[in-house]
Amino acid sequence: MTKPKTSSTECVHAGAKPVELSGPIITPIVHCAPFAFDSTAEVIKFQEGRSERRQPEYGRMGNPTVVCVESRLAALEGAERAILFSSGMAAITSLLLTVLKSGDHVVMTRDAYRRTREFTANFMKKFGVEVTLVEPSLCAIENAVCPATRMIFSESPTNPYLNVMDVEGLGRSGREHGVLTAVDSTFATPFNIRPIEFGIDLILHSATKYLGGHNDLIAGYVAGREELLQPLSGFWSAWLVQFRRVDAAESDAFRAHAQSIAVDGVDGLAGGNSPSGDPAQGRGLRLFPVRRDFVPAFRQSMGSAP
């Protein structure tokens, strides 16, 4: 005979179906720290690596909402994996702290985002990591590479000066010197260029910008090879990134804008870098120095976009 449930038990468990996610056509926001197993035997199989279960037992290791968005971002970038972070700077700092060690050297363009430069030059120096800031040119970057160099870090376009780097050249240089290449591609978005297709190892984004698009979230991500990434993310921002913006980002207006950049440069653009045609973004884009020798990379990227 089943023991009657007390009111306290009913308050916690009545109507609840743990891990029941089938049905919704939109991945819901999953507010949960631990996740249930059907039995003790399932727990043992999971701990021993014999289970086909994808969902970890604890939210710090994974969340259904976050996993969904990370998979979508990885597909957009053409990467093995993407990891969401609580902000663009969280993505950058976590990557640097994960990949670099004492004695390593980083080559970084001097017009990168100020907070990125400050963190690398000041904070990472406490851990014995040295950084050389160079002009945003492939020649200057290659001349700064030394035997201790572990990473080349650049933005393209840069923030806020909007210099466009030779991304394919960066990837080639990284392979020739045997160093990692990381590109912050926030201002380009994966709809304009996929740096991985040009040999870049790691791509970073502040999803707060175009991928968020509504000024109501702060998020970031890193995309690249599985072994280089560590998870740290927030599921609320993940839901907003996916269903507020990423689902609709590749609209006709967005692709028309991207094609206009690739083929005609910037002078012919009337709107900004979003379907809303924000006048403020339009002002920035009119100053966008898309150099003709880099246009083929943008055109090729658009031609290979799904």
Instruction: Domain count for the chain, please give it.
Output: 2
Domain membership flag for residue 238? yes
Q: Decide: 110 and 142 in contact? Cβ < 8 Å.
A: no
Q: What is the per-residue pLDDT across 171-205, written as a single tens digit (0 to 9) for each? A: 999 999 999 999 999 999 888 999 999 999 999 99
Domain membership flag for residue 47? no
Strand ranges in the chain using DSSP code E only, listed in sequence order: 81-85, 105-109, 130-134, 149-155, 180-184, 202-206, 220-224
Instruction: Indicate if 216 and 70 belong to the same structural domain.
Output: yes
Instruction: Indicate if 125 and 263 belong to the same structural domain.
Output: no
Instruction: Indicate if 170 and 238 belong to the same structural domain.
Output: yes
The average pLDDT across 212-230 equals 83
Instruction: Indicate if 276 and 244 belong to the same structural domain.
Output: no
CATH code of the domain containing 241: 3.40.640.10
Domain membership flag for residue 140? yes
C-alpha–C-alpha distance, residues 272 and 44, integer Å: 54
For the chain, percent of residues with pLDDT exceeding 90:
35
C-alpha–C-alpha distance, residues 36 and 34, integer Å: 7
Q: What is the pLDDT of residue 284?
A: 38
Range of the domain at 275: 252-301
Give the relative orientation of helices 295-304 and 252-264 as an angle to the nearest 10 degrees: 150
Domain membership flag for residue 34? no
Domain membership flag for residue 148? yes
List residues bridging with 180 in a β-sheet.
151
Domain membership flag for residue 16? no
Is a pLDDT exceeding 50 seen at residue 255?
yes
Residue found by looking up tokens 């507020």 in the block: 244
Domain membership flag for residue 96? yes
**Stated pTM of the model:** 0.71
For the chain, percent of residues with pLDDT exceeding 70:
69
Q: Decide: 74 and 223 in contact? Cβ < 8 Å.
A: yes
The average pLDDT across 89-114 equals 92
Q: Decide: 106 and 65 in contact? Cβ < 8 Å.
A: no
Q: What is the pLDDT of residue 47?
A: 84
Instruction: Indicate if 241 and 258 belong to the same structural domain.
Output: no
303 vs 41, which has greater pLDDT?
41
* Domain stop point among 227, 248, 269: 248
C-alpha–C-alpha distance, residues 72 and 76, integer Å: 6
